Amino acid sequence: MELDLFSQQPPSPPPRKSEPEFHIWTVAELTRSVRTVLESALGEVWVQGEICNFRRQSSGHCYFGLKDERALLSCVFFRRGQRLILDMSQVSSVDPTLADGMLVQARGRLTVYEARGQYQLNVNLVQPAGAGLLQARFEALKRKLEAEGLFDPARKRPLPRDPACIGLVTSPTGAAIQDFLNIARRRAPWVRIILNPVRVQGAGAANEIAAAIHEFNSPIFEDQIDLLVVCRGGGSMEDLWAFNEEIVARAIVASRIPVISAVGHEIDFTIADFVADLRAPTPSAAAELALPDRAALLRHLAQGRSRLQRAMEGHLLDRRRRLESAISAAAFRFPQRLLQDRAQRLDAAAALIEDRTGRALRLRREKLNAFLAVLRQHRPDQVLALRKFALDARHARLQAALRTSLTRKTSRLTQFAGVLRVLSPDATLSRGYSITLDSSGSIIRAKDSVRPGDQIRTRLSDGSIDSRVL
C-alpha cells in the first residue's frame, strides 16, 4: 500500500490481510520514506527567521530554531563546513557567533531526523537578513565563474603601453566620466577617447553595458580601440549590481580588447573587477593606469634629444678630424704621382692573373686528355654486355631451382594432407563414432567425470546434440 504524503484526504482503509498488496509499514520505513520525499522534492532552500533556543554543543555543532509569527523550524548547523557571512565583503569559516533573537537567512537541505521523527533544516550557510539575496547571488556567481577559471591571472592580458584610442563604457552624465576625462586631458590629451553611453544602474543596465563592450569589439570600429575602460562612481550594492551580472562578466571575458574595470570606490568589489584584465579602485585611478604621463614623456623626449644632439656633435667632430688628416697627407699634395703608382700596380696584377690563368688551363686540358684515354680503354658498353650475360644465366638457374623446390614441397604437402584426413577426428566421426564434451568443452573420458544434472554436448559428423545427464 502506498501513502500520498501530500494529500489532504485521509487514506482509504487498508485492504484485508488476504489481499497480496497489503503491507504494514514499520515506523522506521515510514519515517525513511518521508525523509526521501522531502529531500528529493525540496532539495536546498533558503529560510529567513529569528533564532531561538540556540545552543552549541562541545562537539562544535549548533542547534537552534528559526521562527516567525506562525511557525517554528528546527535547525542543525554542523561544525564541519560552517559558513557565516558577517558583512557584505567577507565570508568567515571560523566559529560563527550566533545568538537568540538574531534575524538571519539560512541555506540548507530539508531532511528528517529519523530518531525523533521530526523534520529539520541541515544548515550549511548563515547570513544576517540585512545581507539579502543580492549577496547570495554575488557569492554563487563568484564561485561559478572562479570554478571555470575566469579569475585566473594567467588568462588576463597586459595593457597596451601607449594606447592611441580608448573605448569608455559608462554613463554620459555621471561623475565617473568627468573624473576620467579630467585625468586624461592632463596626462595624455592626444589620446582619442570614444564614449559608448550606457545606463550604469537599474533594470536593463547590465544588457546595455554588455552590448557596448560587444560593439567596441565589432567590425564597426575596425580595430581602432586599443583599450576598454568600464567604469562608474560609488554607490550601494544595489546601485552597483549591474556590474555583478553574469552577462557583463561574460562580455568582458569575450572581449579581444584588454579591459580595465573601475567600479565604485576602493572598498567596492564587483564581479567585473574579478574577470577584467585589471581592476582600478576608482575611475580616476583607471585613467592614470591606462594613460601615459605627458610630463614624464616630455622629460623623456628632452633627454633623448639631448643625447642625440651630443652624439651627432661627436660624430661630426670625428669626421672633420679625419678629413683634415686626409687633406694634410702627401697623396693630396701630389695626386698625379698617386694615380701613376696605382696604374702600374694594376698592370702588374693583370699580367700575373693572365700568366696564372694560362697555366691553370693547360693543366686542366692535360688531365682531361688523360681521362679520355682511360675511358677509351674501358668502354662501358662492352662491360655492360658482359654483366648482362652473367645476370641472365644466374636468373635462369634461379628459376629452375625454384620450380624444382616448389614441386617437391607440393608433393610432401599432398602426402601430409592424406595422412591428416585419415587421422583427423572428423574421419573418425564420419565412420559412426562420436565425441562427448562437458560444459567447459573438455572431452569426457570416463563416466565418473560427470554427475546427474550436468550439461553435456555430443559431437557427430554432421553437428552436435546437447543433453543433460540423468
Q: What amino acid is encoded at 415 in this protein?
A: Q
Q: Please, which residues bridge with residue 443 across strands?
A: 437
| Per-residue pLDDT, 8 | 36
Q: Are 180 and 287 in contact (CB under 8 A)?
A: yes
Same fold, 27-142 and 151-292: no
Q: Are 165 and 191 in contact (CB under 8 A)?
A: yes
**What are the φ and ψ backbone dihedral angles of 202, each rounded to 5 degrees?**
95, 175
What's 199's DSSP letter?
A: -
CA–CA separation, 291 and 183 (whole Å): 9
CATH topology (fold) of 27-142: OB fold (Dihydrolipoamide Acetyltransferase, E2P) (2.40.50)
CA–CA separation, 366 and 250 (whole Å): 84
Q: Which residue has the cell 704621382?
A: 337
Coil, helix or strand at residue 314:
helix
| Per-residue pLDDT, 59 | 85
pLDDT in 10s for each residue of the chain, 470 residues: 232 323 334 344 445 444 456 678 889 888 888 888 888 888 788 898 889 999 988 888 899 999 988 999 999 998 775 555 544 333 333 344 788 888 888 889 898 988 888 889 999 888 777 555 677 788 889 999 999 999 999 999 999 988 999 999 999 998 889 999 999 888 888 899 999 999 999 889 999 999 999 999 998 887 889 999 999 988 877 788 899 999 999 999 999 999 999 998 888 889 999 999 999 999 999 998 888 876 666 777 778 888 888 889 888 888 888 887 776 665 555 667 767 778 888 888 888 898 888 888 889 888 888 888 777 777 777 778 788 888 989 999 999 999 999 999 999 999 988 888 777 777 777 777 888 888 888 888 888 888 888 899 888 878 889 999 88
| Per-residue pLDDT, 334 | 62
For the chain, domain boundaries: 27-142, 151-292, 430-468
Q: Please, which residues bridge with residue 104 across strands?
A: 49, 128
What order do you get walking across the sheet with 192-197 strand by strand? Answer: 192-197, 165-170, 227-232, 259-263, 278-279
Q: State the alpha helices, DSSP H only, in 266-379.
A: 271-275, 283-290, 294-328, 330-333, 335-377
CA–CA separation, 280 and 287 (whole Å): 9
CATH topology (fold) of 151-292: Rossmann fold (3.40.50)
| Per-residue pLDDT, 7 | 34
CA–CA separation, 70 and 394 (whole Å): 113
| Per-residue pLDDT, 10 | 39
Coil, helix or strand at residue 223:
coil
| Per-residue pLDDT, 385 | 79
| Per-residue pLDDT, 9 | 40
Question: Would you call 210 exposed, middle or buried from its count of C-beta atoms within 10 A (0-12, 13-18, 19+)?
Answer: buried
CA–CA separation, 182 and 106 (whole Å): 46
Q: Please, which residues bridge with residue 74 across strands?
A: 65
Whose CA is closest to 240, among 167, 168, 176?
A: 176
Give kind and range of the element (H or E) at residue 249. Answer: helix 246-254
